[in-house]
Chains A and B, each alone.
Chain A
């Protein structure tokens, strides 16, 4: 046996490494946390890396997981070794095909990074609910508990399915295993070849469909045949456990790593045994070893092959002395007798006992518990609590672990102080910003230590759910033994805080153990820094006797020309003060790593980083810690005292990163969550904010229009409201006639602004004496913070102008409407959120949003805070996310329901007309609600109606009272990205558009799967590089608008607010006024396009002016007026497509990969833009015959 090759990588790459080398076709669809597996495979194929048979695996991205598994099924049927990767909802979409694949006894091993299935809420994190939903499919369920095992089992699963013909679902824990970076022994190509039997591969091929030896599969069978045929494959399942064990044994012979179907660890005479699977089994493993050392007779049984469940093998590994068993399930099956694994164990014990096949000395007592839903922590302390429970005379069954259930009292209490962390395992915790490169630097450090020393390493990274100002916490362990601790570090030898402001928001030092090293990046010298620490930080430094180092990394980075990237600097500091490696060795390795990372991208970057490393050590100082606390200030509360009770009790705790401490009773029972909570978050992530100069301003309101976070606002108000204004509050006379004599203010929300610069970039007003100075200009926030906070508070207190006084809605007046979507976690400079904000301004008080999963559902609905908010009357958007794939249908359902309730209300109103009064009823039923004034009038009528109903003593009046709200028009919008509209949800969207129901579809078109990290969609334009189209997409973007126009009855608009904001507003208003389906395709610049988003609006202009993104409106109403329905709203050809493309890395990087292809694609893009413009110009001249307009088609599907 050769000495093993050790590599440092994460679980996804470890699985991809085997899957790519042992398959020929890979069909997939991106989904967190499995997306990177496919991305690795795609990248390797793109780079020409072959599988072990010397062929290039075909990697194909499909339109959904249902599509991916369909392609997999076909590829398998035609004889290729095929795989896929998925998780959660994606796995559920594959289930129908999985039954088929298993029913046909097809050799297939798929890989699943387990993830919670959405229930009351979506979660990207880990539990086994997805895999457990597949128990009935007939797949073998094969569980790895670590990165090494995931690597190994990917191979064993592939070998075993070839031999046993039962398809395998190989799974490992999402994030905890898929994203953990650790050192493993790599399987060589020879290892893989030795385990994958060529004869079996040939047999698989022979079973493939071929007209040269034709067979038929997929028959329809009748009662006479189906049942027997279904039983005909039983023996394959009966023999599979033995086959898997044989493969495991061969694997051990090849690699030295031994596995069993069920691996037992612990005292051979154990009395108390845990049964579980997945990464938690590793924590249980080390906990058991610890308790054994303490003399406790305990053990843990790790399940590898969960299906088929071999009772014989399961019983065999249990110590005969077992008296009590706790089965831990990482899933929840409401209403069941118990969770699935628990039921299996109970049944297995009972069956073995009944058949006399048990060697156990007594019938063990068995209890089951749930743990780890959505990656909830499972620590040794919790596991010890389970063992303690098993020792009690009365056992608590169906318990929960890791939470406090104060409602149904299922939870097991545990001692949070209990810890088994070994002293020789160095633990380090790093707090950073996503944008400062902390995680990347730590991954780099792990690689250095993993690959340059014999130490075992582990890196796990916790990200928050914000896309701007995102906080990261890195947990690193280094030790002499394999690290099995699958939980976060609570007591670290080294704590680094890479952003000084975190100390004011978080208890960073709670992670530090006594005598730990604390490294702080601060804009202060070693002599000054102490006085800038909050009290609790000083207290902990003194109490824990921390060694305290400080560096001004931002200054070093700036001096070295590295911008805000402090990664290299902080990495150097870590090695310099942690003592993990000798300092000089570490610096050599860091430089080697820099060379490796950046050499291809240019020596300048390398040199600058080298210089940063060298300068770091001269700027790193140990702080002489004073003997006593001197801080004059405490860490401020996270939310203001004025916040609602729920926000203080629940939201603020989640914001503080302490949500684990909240008991069950703190939470809503059904996932219903209050809106209007982001306003309390006050993240304060901008260092510069826009400041208004009224003297230059032309009051166009474009700044407010483009703001992605509703953090710069405009207001027009009566002069009286200025009474009591703060001294620095700015105001000027309003210049237009509609609010003559009123005052006008533009005000920034200083703690909600992300500093993206979009507003300043679009500001058209320049100071005539110094044109560099505009009407709004970025200014450092720190000196302005307090006064701008006061100004903003005062601004919010000024009443908004009455909506019904706005007679004409355009860009300017729309920005006087209160945004009901504010301070979301979207990226700084996001190109989507301005559309959503506008939507809420125009129709927010009567708006229902069905939101497809994606970026917009994350910044729209990811806890802790919710950005949708309410107006002064408590009205605002009602929002819900169902799934990724079903959003059009989901929104249609909302429309159907609202129309139903509206019809009921109208009918009840008519029946009660004599009591209510005919005039009021007539006015309500015939009300014109097409304007703000009309809606305001209707609301007044409804208020009068309610008054009247109170005086009517009849059941019917009560019924009407319940639905009066539905007499006011409701606006239903289906919102989602291009991944939804062009790909996974297209079938549903197409169906909804094919009908005549009044609803609006807003497609936030970033031309790529943004939320999952830039995978190509059918909206990705020709020539753009995206994941799964790394060399530049070779086909044109799908013309969704043209498809919708082909129905003839759909309102369609293509908009780009950065190019022509007035057109966007007009399209939104027209869509809303259209009595039928309306589709707006909205150009949304995106971080995945690869440029500084401050130029987002500029790029939109270039896109529109080149013709690559035409602005148009297709309004079927114009057909009735004898006009062409299509109107082109912006001329093309004012710049070339190339002028647009060259500014974005997604296009430009193709040139860096293949300049010839780049030029070909560029020419094709230009040609296509011109052709499309020409087509549209011709369409814009087509007049539909009047007869068609006068004789509309029967409207079978419209509301009756």
Chain B
């Protein structure tokens, strides 16, 4: 079965891509992902906070207690050179490049138009074949209008796009006042792909300790939100589309492709079941397509999008009404 697809300008044998995650920290795991058929490797995100915070933390922790006490003018040795976390990240790109033959995509995560964006260029220089820019913003400021939030996102994307020549994918959250418009504007900036959607760390509450804790992994139930927006955008913008969040099975992936995804990113499922699970999903997907007599993946790509599906209203407001009505009934 021909599962090939084009994502970010890369011709891929199939759309199932391990998404940005800690899986790539270990070279053995990276090899296992490639063995399982991963068509590209996306690095875990280098966070703006990590870039800025680590620099400050290094200085603070190295200088703590310095020049305060006559017997100890310092407390830690002075290393000749520093490999900051971001530097280690860049080295890891090079290491991964050396052990795999598939494209390696760097990932930057942040929201402000600041010095950390210089790492886009550094990631390119480190050998990355593409860059995923994860604009991960929770707009919690009661005073800031949505327009300003969107303008900032566009500015970050523009800065990155202008600073590198490798393909750039932009990963978004669903919480913008007009996602379709924002995606259009990003498309106008010539970004190469849109990734829908990043998952904010999901909070939970520990009622014993009275602490907020995180839920780490996604479930298939998170897919429907992404299907909706894939379907809305599919065929209406130039950039390729990827889904991330909620794909756990071959059927999940098929739904995403039908909604318009060129790439299907998986993280939680691989973290739970291991890299080899990717191969199983691919095989299941191929089998499903064969059983349903598709000739290729491309044949069904976008088939259930807003512009091509049988009942487009289901993605829009009418869908809302229907659900409400079903509740009433």
Report A's interface with B, CB cutoff 8 A. Answer: 32-33, 35-36, 39, 42-43, 46-48, 124, 175, 179, 433-435, 437-440, 443, 461, 463, 465-467, 470, 472, 561, 563, 565, 598, 600-605, 607-608, 766, 768, 771, 827, 858, 1010-1014, 1025-1027, 1029-1030, 1087-1088, 1090-1092, 1145-1146, 1148-1149, 1151-1155
Instruction: Let me know if B201 is at the binding interface, CB within 8 A.
Output: no
* A to B CB contacts below 8 Å, 13 in the list: A32-B70, A433-B68, A438-B67, A439-B68, A466-B69, A467-B68, A602-B54, A602-B58, A605-B59, A858-B71, A1026-B77, A1088-B65, A1091-B61
For the complex, what is the distance from the CA of A561 to the CA of B75, rounded to whole Å?
Answer: 24
Is B55 in contact with chain A by the CB < 8 A criterion? yes
- In the complex, which of the residues A43, A470, A608 contacts B69, with contact meaning CB atoms closer than 8 Å? A470
Check if B318 is an interface residue, CB within 8 A of chain A: no
Asked whether A601 lies within 8 Å of B70 as measured between CB atoms, the reply is no
Known contacts A1091-B61, A1145-B76; is-contact A604 B55 (Cβ 8 Å): yes
- Given A1153-B81, A1153-B83 in contact, is the A1090-B75 Cβ separation under 8 Å? yes
- Give chain B residues whose Cβ lies under 8 Å from the Cβ of A1029: 77
A1145 x B210 contact (CB < 8 A): no
* Contact present for A604 and B52 (CB under 8 Å): yes
Whether the pair B83, A1014 counts as a contact (CB closer than 8 A) is: no
* Closest-CB distance, A1185 to chain B (whole angstroms): 46
The 8 Å CB contact of A1013, one of B55, B71, B88, is B71
Contact B79 A1149 (CB under 8 A): yes
Expressed in whole angstroms, the Cα–Cα distance for A766 and B70 within the complex equals 41
Q: Complex: how many Å from CA A472 to CA B69?
A: 9
Looking across the interface, which residue of chain B has its beta carbon closest to that of A463?
B70
Between B52, B62, B74, B76, the greatest number of chain A beta carbons within 10 A of the residue's beta carbon is seen for B76
Is the beta-carbon distance between A768 and B69 smaller than 8 angstroms? no
In the complex, chain A residues whose CB is within 8 Å of the CB of B64: 1087, 1090, 1092
CB-contact partner of A435 in B61, B62, B68, B74, under 8 A? B68
CB-based contact B80/A47 at 8 Å: yes
Contact A1152 B77 (CB under 8 A): no
B70 and A175 contact, CB distance less than 8 A? yes
Q: Least Cβ distance of A1101 to chain B in Å?
A: 14
Q: Is the CB of A1088 within 8 A of B76?
A: yes
B251 at the A/B interface (Cβ < 8 Å)?
A: no
A331 to B116, CA, bound (A): 59
Shortest Cβ gap from A604 to chain B (Å): 4
What's the nearest-Cβ distance from chain B to residue A388, in Å? Answer: 34
Interface string of B16-58 (1 = CB under 8 A from A): 0000000000000000000000000000000000011011101
What separation, in Å, do the CA atoms of A207 and B315 have in the docked complex? 93
What separation, in Å, do the CA atoms of A1025 and B78 have in the docked complex? 10
8 closest A-B pairs by beta carbon, nearest first, are A434-B68, A602-B55, A1013-B72, A1145-B61, A771-B210, A1030-B77, A439-B67, A1014-B75
B60 at interface by CB-CB < 8 Å: yes
| B52 proximity list for chain A (CB < 8 A) | 604
Could you list 9 further interchain pairs (A-B, Cβ under 8 angstroms) beyond the known A463-B68, A465-B70?
A35-B71, A435-B65, A563-B60, A601-B84, A1014-B72, A1090-B61, A1090-B62, A1145-B76, A1155-B88
- Which B residue's beta carbon lies closest to that of A563? B60
Partner of A607, one of B66, B78, B115: B115
B249 proximal to A (CB < 8 A): no
For A771, list chain B residues within 8 Å (CB): 210-211
Interchain nearest-CB distance for B198 vs A (Å): 24
> Is the Cβ of B83 less than 8 Å from the Cβ of A1152?
yes
B67 and A440 contacting across the interface, CB-CB below 8 Å: yes
Question: What residue of chain A has the Cβ atom nearest to residue B70's Cβ?
Answer: A463
Docked CA distance A1014–B78 (Å):
11
Contact string against A for B residues 203-224, beta-carbon threshold 8 Å, 1 for contact and 0 otherwise: 0000000110000000000000
Q: Nearest residue in B to A1088 (C-beta to C-beta)?
A: B75
Which residues of B sit under 8 angstroms from A1153, Cβ to Cβ? 79-83
Tell me the complex Cα distance, A601–B53, Å. 11
Interface centre among A437, A472, A1152 (most CB of B within 10 A): A1152
Given A601-B82, A1011-B72, A1013-B71, are A1149 and B115 also a contact pair (CB < 8 Å)?
no
* Cα distance A440–B78 in the bound complex, in angstroms: 15
Q: Contact: B83 with A1013, CB < 8 Å?
A: no
B91 at interface, CB cutoff 8 A: yes
Decide: B75 and A1013 in contact? CB cutoff 8 A. yes
Interface string of B85-129 (1 = CB under 8 A from A): 001100100000000000000000000000110100000000000
Q: How far is the CB of B28 from chain A (nearest CB, A)?
A: 12
Q: What residue of chain B has the Cβ atom nearest to residue A435's Cβ?
A: B68
Nearest CB to that of A600 among chain B residues?
A: B82
**Chain B residue contacts of A766, Cβ below 8 A:** 210
Chain B neighbourhood of A179, CB < 8 A: 70
When distances are taken between beta carbons in the complex, the residues of chain B under 8 Å from A561 are: 56
A1027, B69: Cβ atoms under 8 Å?
no
In angstroms, how far is the closest chain A Cβ from the Cβ of B212? 9
Let me know if B63 is at the binding interface, CB within 8 A.
yes
Are the C-beta atoms of B76 and A1014 separated by less than 8 Å? yes
Residues of B close to A438: CB separation below 8 A? 67
- In the bound complex, how far is the Cα of B118 from the Cα of A434, in angstroms? 34
- Determine if B76 and A1152 form an interchain contact, defined as CB atoms under 8 angstroms apart: no
Given contacts A598-B59, A605-B55, A1155-B83, contact A470 B68 (CB under 8 A): yes
Complex alpha-carbon distance, A1025 and B75, angstroms: 10
CB distance from B214 to the nearest CB of A (A): 15
A768 to B73 alpha-carbon distance, docked (Å): 45
A83 to chain B, nearest CB (A): 20
Using A437-B67, A1151-B88, A1152-B84 as known contacts, say yes or no to A601 and B59 having CB atoms under 8 A apart. Answer: yes
A1087 and B75 form a contact (CB under 8 A): yes
Give bound CA distance, A32 to B79, whole Å. Answer: 22
Docked pose: A569 CA to B149 CA in angstroms? 34
Given A601-B58, A601-B82, A605-B55, the answer on whether A1149 and B69 have CB atoms closer than 8 Å is: no
Alpha-carbon separation in the docked complex, A32 to B72 (Å): 8
Interchain CB contact under 8 A, A434 and B60 = no
Docked Cα-Cα span, A604 to B77, in Å, equals 22
Taking A434-B68, A604-B51, A1155-B91 as contacts, is the C-beta distance between A1013 and B80 under 8 angstroms?
A: no
Cross-chain contact B71 with A1012 (CB below 8 angstroms):
yes
Contacts of A437 in B (CB 8 A): 63, 66-67
Q: Are A472 and B211 in contact (CB under 8 A)?
A: no
| B61 CB contacts on chain A under 8 angstroms | 1090-1091, 1145, 1148
Q: Which residue of B lies closest to A1150 (CB)?
A: B79
A442: nearest residue on chain B (CB-CB)? B67
Q: Which residues of B contact A440 (CB under 8 A)?
A: 63, 66-67
Q: Cβ of A124 and Cβ of B71 under 8 Å apart?
A: yes
- Residues from chain A with a CB closer than 8 A to the CB of B118 are 603
> Shortest beta-carbon distance, A9 to chain B, in Å?
13
Task: Take A124-B70, A771-B210 as given contacts and tell me if A604 and B56 are in contact as well, using a CB distance cutoff of 8 Å.
Answer: yes
A602-B84, A1014-B75 in contact; A472/B62 too (CB < 8 A)?
A: no
Chain A, Cβ-Cβ closest to B72? A1013
Residue of chain B at shortest CB distance from A772: B210
Among residues of A, the one whose C-beta sits closest to the C-beta of B52 is: A604
Among A36, A1090, A1155, the most chain B Cβ lie within 10 Å of the Cβ of A1090
B87 CB contacts on chain A under 8 angstroms: 1152
A605 to B58, CA, bound (A): 10
Which residues of the other chain, A, contact B78 by a CB distance below 8 angstroms? 43, 1030
Which B residues touch A603, using CB under 8 A? 55, 115, 118
Residues of A within 8 A of B62 (CB): 601, 1090, 1145, 1149
* A39→B74 CA distance, assembly (Å): 10
Asked whether, in the complex, the Cβ of B55 is within 8 Å of the Cβ of A1152, the reply is no
Q: When chains A and B are docked, how far (Å) is the Cα of A461 from the Cα of B73?
A: 11
Q: Inside 8 A of B63's CB, which chain A residues have their CB?
A: 437, 440, 565
Whole-angstrom distance between the Cβ of A600 and the nearest chain B Cβ:
5
- A1088 and B55 alpha carbons, distance in the complex (Å): 19
By a CB distance below 8 angstroms, the chain A residues around B81 are 600, 1153
Which residues in A have their C-beta under 8 angstroms from that of B80? 46-48, 1153
CA distance A937 to B52 in the complex (A): 64
- Residue of B58, B70, B79, B88 with highest tally of chain A CB at under 10 A: B70
